[in-house]
Amino acid sequence: MSAESGDSAGITIGVVGAGMMGSALAYTCARAGADVVLVARSLEGAHRGKAYAARREMHALQAGRTDAAASSALLDRIAPTERVSDLAPASLVVEAVAENVAVKQHVLQSIEAVTEPSTLLASTTSTLPVTTLAATLARPENFVGMHFFSPVDRMSLVETVVGARTSEATLAASLTYSRMLGKTPIVVRDSRGFFTSRVMQPYLDEAMVAVGEGIDPVLVERAALEAGYPVPPLQLLDEITLTLNRTVQRENRVAVEAVGGVWRANGADRVRDRMIDEHGRGGRSVGRGFYEYDAAGARLGLWPGLRDLFGIPRTIPLEDMRDRLLFVEVLEAMRCLDEGVIGSEADADTGSVLGIGFPAHTGGVVSFRRSYSAGVEGFTARARELAGRYGHRFLPPEPSSEAHDQPEYL
């Protein structure tokens, strides 16, 4: 949505946090026509956040996608500040700070203290339960998760997370805001990992499991690209960083065990730990991961030592590796549907394609299963074949229903 559309004209949106997520979100809101209050811990940090918008507008000017007057007006709509009190006129405030419960709760409380009772509060969290984040708020009914995807100004999906006390009015308003910003929202139930992170993690894990089995990492990456993934899994892990991926998994383990569950480790944990702890290969940000990088951070190719790190080399058919990556995501999506984590098959398809890069030509995780050779029965037969060769994680969950047409939250 361009600023010229005017759909957000006259609306003030607050963004708290001027890191990569917050900076891009502030630019997205201003581009949609809203006035933006960008809050950081220091005024200098807030100005650095606004600089993201300036850089993006410079590229737009050079490409002829805007003109100087429109670009100047857009930048004028972003007001950097270190004062939380400047959020008072905002009708929506989005928190985009560190992925830590205590930090987010503190920030959200400070926002709530200076804004109107009707102000909508949102968090960009990608994994933390929204109900937990809302526990210290005076008005939890006004709080919702709005999980934007990075880079925000280019990714169209927003995963809208409904907490235990999120009101229907708040949900409806958040969906309206997402659409005003030119985004495509889906609705998910509050749970750790929500839908997109929960479905993407098996894709990343499966690649590491395969490497740990001695399968050539070149085959792993090639299988993903031939399946239609925009970014192969080992490359994606380097971009995310293995260290962040491990932190999230450890937090998941703590959450599972805190409620009496049993955490089931897999071969991915061993690969991730050895890469980080024994070889210092945490990802692109440190210049060493599954790939090698030059001094400027450019990707050079897969780390040659990776092939010999995890035992005797093993060869499997390319189509098996391809299906292993695809099927683990589809099977996890099926579990999410059966558990009511996501309310509709349409949202599951949309979220998988727009949010986590499931091959777009398939139509999404649900459409892939339905359109598989010989349909659902063919998919199930192939899943059982993979289970026989590579492990029980490929066994399909027992179906509870084939009817998931309407989101239960709307």
Instruction: Tell me if 281 sits within 8 A of 271, measured CB to CB.
Output: no
Catalytic center residues: 147
What does the alpha-carbon distance between residue 351 and residue 189 come to, in Å, rounded to a whole number? 13
Task: For CA atoms 248, 210, 266, 326, give the dihedral sign.
Answer: positive
DSSP for 37-83 reads: EEE-SSHHHHHHHHHHHHHHHHHHHHTTSS-HHHHHHHHHTEEEES-
- Token pair, residue 138, equals 């005076």
Where does 213-276 have alpha helices with state H?
217-227, 233-240, 242-258, 267-273
Task: Report the distance separating Cα 375 and Cα 364, nearest Å.
Answer: 15
Cβ count within 10 A of residue 89: 13
Long-range (24+ apart) CB contacts under 8 A made by 256-263 are none
Q: Give me the helix-helix angle, 318-339 and 375-390, nearest 10°.
A: 110
- In the structure encoding, which two tokens stand for residue 139, read together? 């008005």
Q: How far is CA 361 from CA 184, 233, 368, 392, in A?
A: 18, 18, 9, 28
CA 323 – CA 373 distance, rounded (Å):
13
Give SS3 for 324: helix
Phi, psi of 242 (to 5 degrees): -65, -30
Place of tokens 């804004």: 115
Residue 67 is which amino acid? Answer: D
Residue 192 near residue 127 (C-beta atoms within 8 A)? yes
